[in-house]
Structure 1
Amino acid sequence: MNFCSLLLLQLPLLLVFTTTSTANIPPGSSLYASNTSQTWSSPNNTFFLGFTQVDPTSYTVSISHSTAGVSIWTTDNVVAGTASAAVIDYGGVFQFLPNGNLLLTNRSGATVWTSNTGNLGVTSAALDDTGNLVLKAGSINVWSSFQNPTDTLVPSQNLTVNQTLRSGVYSFRLLSSGNMSLTWNDSVEYWNQGLSSALKSTPPTLQLQSNGILTLLDAGSRMSVAFGNDYGEGGEVMRFLRLGSDGNLRMYSGGTTTTTWAALADQCQVYGYCGNMGICSYNESSLSPICKCPSLNFEAVDVNDSRKGCKRKVEDCAGNVTMLELKQTKFLTFQAQQIVTIGITACRVNCLSSTSCMACTSTSDTYVYCYMKNTPDFVSGYQGPVLLSTSYIKVCGPVQPNPLPSYQIGGDKKFRESRGWKVGVLVTGTIWGLAALVGLFWWFCCKNSPKFGGVWAQYTLLEYASGAPVQFSYKDLHRWTQGFKDKLGAGGFGAVYRGVLANRTVVAAKQLEGIEQGERQFRMEVATISSTHHLNLVRLIGFCSEGRHRLLVYEFMKNGSLDHFLFTTEDQSGKLLNWKRRFNIALGTARGITYLHEECRDCIVHCDIKPENILLDANFNAKVSDFGLAKLISTKDQRYRSLTTIRGTRGYLAPEWLANLPITSKSDLYSYGMVLLEIVSGRRNFEVSAEINQKRFSEWAYGEFEKGNVETIVDKRLADQGVDMEQVMRAVQVSFWCIQEHPSQRPTMGKVVQMLEGIIEIARPPAPKALMKGSTSGTSTNLSSKDSAQSTCEASAPPPSSSSSI
């Protein structure tokens, strides 16, 4: 158990004691490890400094938050570039000496830690309400805990280019360029991100705001660089940034159990996480990474701690060197030699023949690279099913792969069970072989026959019926769409074409553009999209992935997209939607988005809610389309970049897009609110803005609402068709709540559904504002990409000129 874990276990015990409220700490004051109930506290008792018991015989001194139960600073022990808490025994003493020095000594009186402020004129010490321990000479700060951080950054604490957060062999720094950097052993930088291109002349400062936004201060300007996923919410919640002993930088809210942001979404990308020659991977039963040795040629350095790495069982090869092959594995070679366009065989041979090369990785996704890991002899590995790379590491003598579970069976029993197993496999294999031959015969003879074509297509669609998307060939889709002739529309993701499968099923085939992912990554994203099943979502039937061809096959929606009916001209009056259908469409759309936000395994943020992406079936039921596609489009494709690097459509963008704030599910709420106003009015919001002298459509509508003239917002073409004004009032009020300036003021989509249905009462909404206050001119970078998951959006194209409906 590491120090932080033990510290958290002990903090609740400490809080049961009564602390001493001390604004100023007089010279000569002392704290004793033998009395952990004695502390120095901030004036409001939010923070306290005192001894904490690490284990039955060890103690350390730390500043802790009273209610969150977390340590924000500790007396550290930096040795050879590593950092850990300075630990002492039961007889330890922490003193504020009369000469102005802070001193930690053990039982024997030996110095364990000191502030080195003796004889510098220090006259007073105090722990303030922000958690900062300050030593002063009169009114001048001589030393403070904020200026000498350990592993944690809290609000009101600035991190400058001269300061470092440390935890074990890992360190975090703010570079003079403005980028943030994570480093292993002060030698290997494995993460570097920030806003260096936006910096001005002065050295930057990093600051964590109390609302959960990590900002860069430079020449008086404030630029957002990272955001907790609960930013702006929680009011008095304690937020802090901490460098963990696992090498990852995380933002927490309220304690160490709630992570709101992490520098690296994939823990296995942290250099040296599994130690030297250790391989980091995941299994199906746990989301936490596991560490293992490459093969039986290696053994664990410490059988009780897999993170300490591995070592070769035989170190002296005596010329008998072999390359151990590790499939779907890469070595994190941040300081490696890179060789372009060299195949896997040449990569292995070159490393084997080089005396300085310890290991190598050959990639095979999109481009072919060979990464050579040279001395020093430290290798950090990562293995995963989606990695399209093969790695090699030098071993002595013959390669010994890891044993299968059957190898653990012994004696004659092993032989008998092995023989029975082989017989069973032989019989089963024969049966399956015969079945395969029959299937191949039927495939080649009957596939293209008109008589059997429909039957073949139905068998193909059984895969989709089982919940998995069907993989279609590009040749078949080209034939079924008649060479992609019948174009239904086009948008930021690509063109959509009508097609008819062999079983007479009408589909819509979307040709995706800007796809840069490898085969496996694309399949994983498609699997995520296809796993969403809801009455108000368009169904994904299948996909095609051949070379550069990437297509998605959806169910065909007979009535097309909502915009064709909502924004009709006089000569299209027959396509006008009555109020009942409009309200049902608004409600169905909200239910579909609610499923994406709240009912999927991972929250899916659509990023482009607009009438073109709301499709209508034969009965005018609303179905949301194009969800989950934002993550498929690579930002490397310059055709899909606008000047503001925004994905979305003019008129539907939430203010946070333009104010450099994070894009969350609440951003979809804003877009939905604008669509809801359009459903009520029957007019494009930005077209109305132009008609009323550039005044924002939402501001004009709210003005009419304030005057009690809600009927002026309603589509005038519905005057003679009967409109339920109670439903109109609910829809208008919901739309105003959805388009509030700050995301935290907007309701969840689940609450929107309840408000539209009249289940819960709707409070009077405040006026929507034109722009977000306090927005900056700097460029924002959301460094978390849960890139996990589809909770943030990439850059995109300007508004499409035509419909992108399926």
Structure 2
Amino acid sequence: MSIALTFLFLLLVFASSHSIPLGSTLHASDRHHSWHSPNSAFSVSFIPAATPGSFLSAILFSNTVSIWSPGTVDSGGSLRLLRSGSLRLVNSSGATVWDSGSGNQGVTSATLEDSGNLVLRSHRNKTVWSSFAHPSSVIVPTQRFTVGMSLRSGSYSFHLTEEGSLNLKWNNSIVYWSQELNIPNLNLSSPSFVLERNGVASIFDSVLLNGVVTSIRSNDYGEGNDVFRFLKLEEDGNLRIYSVSTGSEIQTQTWVAVADQCQVFGFCGNFGICRYDGFFPICECPSENFVPIDVNDMRKGCKRKVELEDCPSNLGMLDLNNTRFLTYPPEVSAQRFTLGTEACRAICLVDSLCFASVLMADGSGICFQKLSGFVSGYKSPSVPSTSSLKVCKPVLPYSTVKKSDERWLIHALIIALAVIAVVFCLAAIVGVLWCCCCRDSLKFGALSSHHTLLEYASSAPLRFSYKELQRCTKGFKEKLGVGGFGTVYKGVLVNRTVVAVKRLEGIEQGEKQFRTEVATIGSTHHLNLVRLIGFCSQGRHRLLVYEFMKNGSLDNFLFDTESGTLLNWEYRFSIAIGTAKAILYLHEECSNCIVHCDIKPENILLDENFNAKVSDFGLAKLMPSDKRNWNMSCVRGTRGYLAPEWVANLPITSNSDIYSYGMVLLEIVSGRRNFEVSEDTNYKKFSDWAYEEFDKGNIEVVLDKSLHGDETVDTEQVTRMVQASFWCIQKHPSHRPSMGKVVQMLEGIVEMTKPLAPTALVSESVTENR
């Protein structure tokens, strides 16, 4: 009997070894002392906070990931489990920062469970309080999130409604993101939201126990048994799912609620304008009529230099193009009208209650008049709206140059002028010496002055006369092809260099302007761009001289089945990467962004080693403004490559090139035109049919049949290219990745989620030019 009692006593002691007794205390200054879960995966401890000298009290996973926190304290603070049963966070002064409110309710102990739930229990093992029932900003697997609970981070909160919808709110009022049940008209008596261990989020009925899976799932769902996933509302107002492998400190984002961070209401504070600088959202003030509230933290927003009440008779409207003030429901402070641009801003100007207006240029013609509240702006070339703010005159444009930089700019200008003067002097000296010594030499007699070795070495575009190019092409006899800007002929210069001469059509710019634009094109140098050797601007003649590409254009190898030529997979993948890097250079690495506007296989040339070289870049700048729209839609808007925003007459940006590249990428894989319709594709456009097969997991049917049996085919590369192509051809420009991201996708540097079905809105009536 005594042996049994002893065994029972030892069992009780072991079972309670992870229990936290009343009177226990954790000190912020003692980070080595923690309360642990039985499996040691979770702990209650202090970690350094963002503010120097402060410490965050938190439940941690793997000693690094905070899944629940009552707040921060100074270095003398502590977390105490009082003998009254209350869990309390206090500062060094003894002031209460947070309290569980469980005092005098029969709490006898606390336990940190293997799930990460911190539980206060009574002597009958009844739960009095738990961290799962009072979440802070994180939800972990098995934690039930119910109606009435909320995640909070700054001004943002996350809620579950009684109807089973998930909402993200700003200031507990404006809903800027909502996720509804994927089964309509389903009545739930007591909905709960749970993030499962496999990364799938579910809403189910706590009474009826009917699970309803939502469309929320991490892009690694179902993968790995040693992966810990958690959902977190962050201080930028976005909701994300992260994955952490056991033993690792790296948190990988696997799902995000608002893909476009600038669409989060209030991200840049009141009167703040959000825009993208590369991959990253940045905040700025609307104009010089405003100043930052905190220059060190632009997310705190801006304020007027002069308040409206201080200039009641001297008001004006500040127009912000490609800018939309976010208007999410239930923002009742915004009135709606159907008006034109001038009427929209004029009504606001004369209305003493209105301080901002937004004209939706999406075809609806809706004009929002903001009468009170918070102004959160989003600026992007792809945003069709125009917004206006009421300000005190004078209306000042936005300037990115700070006054503190003006002195630096003056010094830089003086240095630049000095360098230019020295270069001109040296050029003059060289010119005089050449005229004196070499002008009548037989060695140079056959070449005009601009063909000298010195000018070739300078890599600057050379100037040819029309007669010279007429002679070197034998009267424009041998045609290489016809492009969107004109016809290309083969030529041989007097120094035996084989070139391609393009006669531009519809170019009516003056000689000075033409040479300026050509100089810009000529200054672009990249391994995957066709080099511009020279030009001709004489009378009405406008010609460009390019290096000659021996293997012609890519379309000859993809679609000309009668030629008998075949590109193996290794060449195709190399061409796809090379083309992407060339477009990346034009978009992000040139001094000024160059939008190609006509990416297609005909403009991707191949040298003798089948290296891809993009041609016709920058020529859109040479088109006259009164003919540009006609040329873009009728001559250069090639069916199958034209981005939807062209047809919708929306602003054209680098995202338009990304759409065209995505179409080319799919053609490189398939060897078929995207707009091709046949019995094989169930009489659907090939690009639409290809996505359906991709969605079913049938990647192999998308691959060019001629590559079946090719040993160089890499299945992983094929999958990446097909997946990346569908990301590139998304209907909305903001959903497409940047070209830098595309290169990373193709090279396997970044993980890709499954793309949405791209909706092809390009009109079939657009004239084909091949």
Which TM bucket (shorter chain)? 0.5 to 0.7
- 2:119 match: 134
The answer on 1:116 being equivalent to 2:101 is yes
The answer on 1:34 being equivalent to 2:21 is no
- Give, in angstroms, the shift of residue 22 of structure 1: 5.0
User: Residues 436-474 of structure 1: CA distance to partner in whole angstroms, max 9, x if unpaired?
Assistant: 99898899xxxxxxxxxxxxxx99997565367999999
Q: 2:135 aligns with which of 139, 146, 149?
A: 149
**Coordinate RMSD, CA, aligned:** 5.0
Percent of paired sites with the same residue: 35
Rounded to whole Å, the distance in 1 between the matches of 2:48 and 2:180 is 38
Residues 70 and 369 of structure 1: is their aligned pair in 2 closer, same or farther, counting only changes over 3 Å?
A: same
Residues 596 and 306 of structure 1: is their aligned pair in 2 closer, same or farther, counting only changes over 3 Å?
A: farther
- 2:199 match: 212
Q: Residues 70-109 of structure 1 correspond to what in structure 2 (within 5 A)?
A: 70-75=65-70, 85=71, 87-109=72-94
Rounded to whole Å, the distance in 1 between the matches of 2:318 and 2:192 is 46
Rounded to whole Å, the distance in 2 between the matches of 1:430 and 1:332 is 42
TM-score after normalising by structure 2? 0.59
Rounded to whole Å, the distance in 1 between the matches of 2:22 and 2:282 is 49
Q: What SS does the corresponding residue of 2:83 show, helix, strand or coil?
A: coil
Rounded to whole Å, the distance in 2 between the matches of 1:60 and 1:22 is 26
Mapped contact 1:212–1:232 kept (Cα < 8 A)? yes
Q: 1:532 aligns with which of 655, 661, 665?
A: 665
Q: What SS does the corresponding residue of 1:394 show, helix, strand or coil?
A: strand
- Give, in angstroms, the shift of residue 523 of structure 1: 3.3
The answer on 1:191 being equivalent to 2:185 is no
Q: What SS does the corresponding residue of 2:512 show, helix, strand or coil?
A: helix
Aligned partner letter, 2:357: C
Rounded to whole Å, the distance in 1 between the matches of 2:417 and 2:641 is 52
Rounded to whole Å, the distance in 1 between the matches of 2:167 and 2:115 is 26
Rounded to whole Å, the distance in 2 between the matches of 1:438 and 1:220 is 81
Rounded to whole Å, the distance in 1 between the matches of 2:753 and 2:514 is 43
Q: What SS does the corresponding residue of 1:197 show, helix, strand or coil?
A: coil
Mapped contact 2:141–2:230 kept (Cα < 8 A)? yes
Mapped contact 1:597–1:605 kept (Cα < 8 A)? no
The answer on 1:223 being equivalent to 2:208 is no
User: Residues 335-368 of structure 1: CA distance to partner in whole angstroms, max 9, x if unpaired?
Assistant: 2535354111111111112222221121223332
Aligned partner letter, 2:36: S
Residues 362 and 31 of structure 1: is their aligned pair in 2 closer, same or farther, counting only changes over 3 Å?
A: same
Rounded to whole Å, the distance in 2 between the matches of 1:526 and 1:582 is 21
Q: What SS does the corresponding residue of 2:665 show, helix, strand or coil?
A: coil
Rounded to whole Å, the distance in 2 between the matches of 1:460 and 1:42 is 59
Rounded to whole Å, the distance in 2 between the matches of 1:188 and 1:344 is 26
- 1:691 match: none
- Give, in angstroms, the shift of residue 257 of structure 1: 3.5
The answer on 1:252 being equivalent to 2:242 is yes
Aligned partner letter, 1:260: T
- 2:297 match: 305
- Give, in angstroms, the shift of residue 167 of structure 1: 0.4
Rounded to whole Å, the distance in 1 between the matches of 2:370 and 2:599 is 49
Q: What SS does the corresponding residue of 1:246 show, helix, strand or coil?
A: coil
Mapped contact 2:164–2:188 kept (Cα < 8 A)? no
Aligned partner letter, 1:290: I
User: Residues 744-796 of structure 1: CA distance to partner in whole angstroms, max 9, x if unpaired?
Assistant: xxxx9999xxxxxxxxxxxxxxxxxxxxxxxxxxxxxxxxxx99987233699
Rounded to whole Å, the distance in 2 between the matches of 1:58 and 1:189 is 33
Rounded to whole Å, the distance in 1 between the matches of 2:415 and 2:221 is 59
Mapped contact 2:641–2:663 kept (Cα < 8 A)? no
Mapped contact 1:298–1:313 kept (Cα < 8 A)? yes
Residues 390 and 438 of structure 1: is their aligned pair in 2 closer, same or farther, counting only changes over 3 Å?
A: farther
Aligned partner letter, 2:266: G
Mapped contact 1:536–1:589 kept (Cα < 8 A)? no
Rounded to whole Å, the distance in 2 between the matches of 1:749 and 1:419 is 43
Rounded to whole Å, the distance in 1 between the matches of 2:516 and 2:126 is 84
- 2:281 match: 289
- 1:359 match: 356
Q: Residues 496-575 of structure 1 correspond to what in structure 2 (within 5 A)?
A: 519-520=650-651, 523=656, 526-530=659-663, 532=665, 535-538=668-671, 561=680
Q: What SS does the corresponding residue of 2:670 show, helix, strand or coil?
A: coil
User: Residues 53-107 of structure 1: CA distance to partner in whole angstroms, max 9, x if unpaired?
Assistant: 325532232100026x2000011xxxxxxxxx2x222322322122211122222
Aligned partner letter, 2:720: E
- 2:261 match: 267
Q: What SS does the corresponding residue of 1:88 show, helix, strand or coil?
A: strand
- Give, in angstroms, the shift of residue 291 of structure 1: 0.6
Rounded to whole Å, the distance in 2 between the matches of 1:511 and 1:59 is 54
Residues 412 and 205 of structure 1: is their aligned pair in 2 closer, same or farther, counting only changes over 3 Å?
A: closer
- Give, in angstroms, the shift of residue 381 of structure 1: 0.6
- 1:454 match: none
The answer on 1:234 being equivalent to 2:367 is no
Rounded to whole Å, the distance in 1 between the matches of 2:747 and 2:599 is 38
The answer on 1:350 being equivalent to 2:347 is yes
- 1:680 match: none
- 1:791 match: 755
Mapped contact 1:155–1:207 kept (Cα < 8 A)? yes
The answer on 1:125 being equivalent to 2:75 is no
- 2:317 match: 323
Q: 2:160 aligns with which of 174, 178, 194?
A: 174
Rounded to whole Å, the distance in 1 between the matches of 2:599 and 2:717 is 30
TM-score after normalising by structure 1? 0.56
Residues 203 and 516 of structure 1: is their aligned pair in 2 closer, same or farther, counting only changes over 3 Å?
A: farther
Rounded to whole Å, the distance in 1 between the matches of 2:633 and 2:313 is 57
- Aligned pair count reads 526
Mapped contact 1:596–1:605 kept (Cα < 8 A)? no
Q: What SS does the corresponding residue of 1:604 show, helix, strand or coil?
A: helix
Q: Residues 725-764 of structure 1 correspond to what in structure 2 (within 5 A)?
A: none
Q: What SS does the corresponding residue of 2:355 show, helix, strand or coil?
A: strand
Unaligned runs of 5+ in 2: 1-15, 425-508, 519-534, 544-597, 606-613, 621-626, 684-702, 734-744, 761-769
Q: 2:392 aligns with which of 375, 390, 396?
A: 396
- Give, in angstroms, the shift of residue 39 of structure 1: 0.8
- 1:46 match: 41
Unaligned runs of 5+ in 1: 1-20, 76-84, 444-457, 481-500, 502-506, 541-551, 565-580, 607-626, 635-747, 752-785, 797-805
Rounded to whole Å, the distance in 2 between the matches of 1:208 and 1:333 is 30
- 2:692 match: none
- Give, in angstroms, the shift of residue 270 of structure 1: 0.6
Aligned partner letter, 2:719: H
Mapped contact 2:599–2:660 kept (Cα < 8 A)? no
Mapped contact 1:322–1:397 kept (Cα < 8 A)? yes
- 1:800 match: none
- Give, in angstroms, the shift of residue 595 of structure 1: 3.8
Structure of greater Rg: 2
